[in-house]
Amino acid sequence: MEIIPASFYAPIFYNLVLLLVLFKCAQLHANSKNTLWILAFFLIFFLGLRPLSGRHFIDMTTYASVYEMLKYDTGDYFGKDWIFTKLMQLFARLNFSVHIFFLVVEVIYVGFSAWACKRIFNKYGYFGFLAIIGAFSFYTYGVNGIRNGMAASIVILALSYLDANKWKAVLWAFVAVNVHNSMLLPVAAMIACLAHNNTKHYFYFWVLSIVVSATVGSTMETLIAGSGLVEDDRFAGYLTAETDKASFSSTGFRWDFLLYSCVPILIGYYYVVKKGFQDKTYLFFLNTYILANSFWVMVIRANFSNRFAYLSWFLYGIVLVYPFLKCEYVKGRDAKLRLVLLGNVAFTYFMWLIGK
């Protein structure tokens, strides 16, 4: 018996996040020491114990079917994503309910994001977490693209260790890539940022990617699909396949999403390049975001463009609020923090209302 009907999940989630952000913005300096973990635990159980529904959670029933198959065979259902396969196989062989498996998925997806926020922002961790759950793709990758979502949260945790403990960062990055192979792109960007962390250069590269996309975008899609950079055959197929009219994403040059993507980039450019804000952790997050987003811009017309965008957008919330939480000399800091939190969730809420 469903305690909460599947059709109620999205309205509850989006309205709850909107209310939490409004409440926090109204009482910006109220004590939220334990609120981060209370909210994280609620979301873990709320999303993790959702009912099986292909209509409302798309890929959930496919994962559930594979889970049942893995109780009896050793099929390689997820290719190179062997850590995810072994995790699913372990729970299936132990005869745990598929709902327990989905609950563990949310422990990683939600819990690792909360853990990273606590590590990065300390007493301001709740603000960072609100920015993450209020971002455009959070809900979708919590209930539908769960492999990608899990891997993305692990990458966030890896980035949080990049300055303090590089070996832990490497370990978590390795796990992320083997949970979902698409994380090769942000992990490669993360490695590039270790070697060269000049935000101005990455910003120029991002601008160049727009020019390339606008002029020879279709050629770039073909080149990238055949270059071996994207090793997952299905993933590469998104670049060149015929458009599925019933798919989630529309195609063409998405100026709307490009404008959405550029907000944390412009904020970062202003504070790092113009104001000289030099925080190593922020630079790792910002430059990784810019580099990964540049890849998406170059293939922006591709089918299922949202899947490419997510390879940078999963960092959106943290990159957006970071300078307002950690840069002490921001003029009008409170007003700007309210603005970015409200703007972030307002965009997400609006896109949900219009069905995007």
Over residues 227-266, the pLDDT tens digits come to 544 545 454 455 455 444 333 345 566 778 899 999 999 9
Q: How far, in Å, CA of 299 to CA of 302, rounded?
A: 6
Specify the pLDDT at position 303: 64
Is residue 327 within 8 A of residue 278, CB to CB? The reply is: no
Q: Is the pLDDT of residue 169 over 50?
A: yes
The model carries a pTM of 0.91
Q: Is the pLDDT of residue 225 over 90?
A: no
Specify the pLDDT at position 75: 65
pLDDT band at 352 (very low <50, low <70, confident <90, very high): very high
Specify the pLDDT at position 250: 53
Quote the mean pLDDT of the chain.
Answer: 87
Specify the pLDDT at position 247: 39
Q: Is the pLDDT of residue 343 over 50?
A: yes
Q: Which of 1-10, 91-100, 279-288 has the lowest mean pLDDT?
A: 1-10
Is residue 260 within 8 A of residue 136, CB to CB? The reply is: yes
Question: In this structure, is the dihedral angle defined by the CA atoms of residues 222, 225, 227 and 229, taken in order, positive or negative?
Answer: positive
pLDDT band at 98 (very low <50, low <70, confident <90, very high): very high
CA angle 63, 158, 180 (to 5 degrees): 25
If you search the block for the tokens 């059709």, which residue do you land on?
7
